[in-house]
Amino acid sequence: MDVSVLFGLLIGIALLIAFCLLRQQSYWRRRGIPHSKPMLLMSMGTKHVVQILRESYQQFKGTGPFCGFFLLATNTALIVDLELVKKILVKDFNYFSDRGLYTNAHNDPLSGNMFFAEVEGWKRLRAKLTPTFTSGKMKNMFHMVTAVGERFAATVHTRIGGGDAEGHGKVLLVSDLSGRYTTDTIGTCAFGLECNSLDAETPDFVLVTNSFINRRRHNKLVEGLIFSFPRIARFLGMRIVSQHVHDFYIKLVEDTLDYRKDTKLRRNDFLDLLIDMMEREDADGKRIEGLSVNEIAAQTFLMFLAGFETSATTMSFALYLLAQHPDIQERLRRDINEVLAANNDQLTYECIKQMSYLQQVICETLRMYPIVPNLMRKAQSYYDTGDPKYYIEKGTLVIIPTIAIHYDPQYYPDPERFEPARFTPEEIQRRPACTWLPFGEGPRNCIGMRFGRMQTSIGLIYLLRNFQFSVAAETEIPCPLIKASCLVSPENGIRLRVDRVEGAKPIIREWENL
């Protein structure tokens, strides 16, 4: 092809893309819908998404059921009416059953997990995986998590050592320790592996998972184009998971599957449950549809990614808030000790349910610091909101600003205040549905919610039984967030002073009495 012709073709493609982007940027103005100002991808890092969502919600709430929002090159609606939130997540879920995320299971196997999957893939995986997250299955894994919890407390004891010069304990990076704890719990429950992250200087699992979260395969512009034009990206074989992350998890799953097949080992963990669903042949040689090795790798990758980051950060923020409110911390410690004392200092699965104040503290922490600050859905067809002006066209991306709803004084008076009493059964009953959304709501809510709350509860029980947390000179208040991240994560970690609780009794784990 002649160079001048090629050059002209490239200019024509560039002009076409520019025209499409400019037309998309004027979409809400042409419809007469109140909207935020267009935002360049490269400038999004100047504000955290939490600030953007809260400002937009406060600006447009009351102007209509939603406002126009500019995200990537996709028509996006930011929902500012709670009734419409309920319809999208629950009542009219079939119109919004897709998250609108990029997935390419053929070229990028780990992206073929249930969180990223499109509607049909999600339905298939959800139906198969739901039985693995029942209360009964959680109870079977309870002793694995408490064993890690005990090592967690022992590690903190070691880190404190003899304390500072005055013997008053030490300032520790509790966010790092919490991440090591959740890494070890997911490692043992998902893979049956002893990750030993609590003892290692540079734990492999933490490094690999952090690299996916914080060091993306592509820059913001390329990633934005991938998510805006998923069909073209799939046609080009684009991937979002880095090669070394892909290789690490695929090899880990393949080696573990081979080992369990050769040794016939069963641990009743997540991987065993997934192995039971593998593709196989019946007695007549007919193929029974199940999960492939790549699909198992994708789901375990999701379990590790979700279970590691969310629970670790929730624990860190809970300790951060408790350190600033010693009266609440002391009440929680009493609640934990009273339940354990009534059970002869033995920690059982049922004990966690009885620690009502602990659950209130966790719920209030997740209200103030929901790790995923917004929910995303994509309209599968034209949706009529009841107002002829405010219809939602097929393909429109819908954002529900979880963090903004959590800080709406209409639902949570004095929302900046840490107050676990907001989550007594009576207070929960008084509030409308869908005002607390850290795990989502409706059919596509977080399938691992039970496990996440269990490992968070166990970690906090072991810590608060044995240690007192307080603010140190190194503690940043308020806590700055990583602006470049779409998650709510502390920019510099969370550092707190940690002292031993005198006279703390050891916790007896349930399985020790079997």
Q: How many CB atoms lie within 10 A of CB 59?
A: 14
- CA separation for the pair 361, 281 (Å, rounded): 49
Residue 401, phi then psi, degrees to nearest 5: -80, 80
Tokens representing residue 463 in the block = 């810590």
Q: Residue 237's pLDDT is what?
A: 84
| CATH architecture designation of domain 102-372+438-513 | Orthogonal Bundle (1.10)
User: Which residues 6+ apart lie within 8 Å of 409 measured at CB?
Assistant: 415
493 burial via Cβ count (<10 Å: 0-12, 13-18, 19+):
middle
Between the alpha carbon of residue 202 and those of residues 180, 195, 198, 210, 413, the distances in Å are: 10, 11, 10, 12, 43
Q: DSSP assignment, residue 69? A: E
3-state secondary structure 31-50: HCCCECCCCCHHHHHHCCHH
Cis peptide leading into 38, omega within 30 of 0? no
Residues of the chain with CATH 1.10.630.10: 102-372+438-513
Q: Please say whether the beta carbons of 36 and 70 come within 8 A.
A: yes
- CA separation for the pair 111, 295 (Å, rounded): 9
Q: Which residues of the chain have pLDDT under 50?
A: 41-43, 281, 513-514
Between the alpha carbon of residue 507 and those of residues 174, 242, 318, 361, 458, the distances in Å are: 21, 41, 21, 21, 11
Q: Residue 465's pLDDT is what?
A: 96
Q: Residue 498's pLDDT is what?
A: 97
Residue 513, phi then psi, degrees to nearest 5: -95, 0
Q: Residue 245's pLDDT is what?
A: 82
pTM above 0.75, yes or no: yes
> What residue type is assigned to position 359 of the chain?
Q
Of 186, 156, 153, 177, which is closest to residue 462 (Cα–Cα)? 153
- CA separation for the pair 393, 379 (Å, rounded): 7
The alpha carbon of 240 is separated from its chain's Cα centroid by a whole number of angstroms, namely: 18
Tokens representing residue 133 in the block = 């997250």
CATH class in words for 8-91+376-410: alpha beta
- CA separation for the pair 110, 140 (Å, rounded): 27
Question: Alpha helix (H) ranges present in 236-292?
Answer: 243-263, 270-275
384 burial via Cβ count (<10 Å: 0-12, 13-18, 19+):
exposed
pLDDT in tens, 400-410: 999 999 999 99
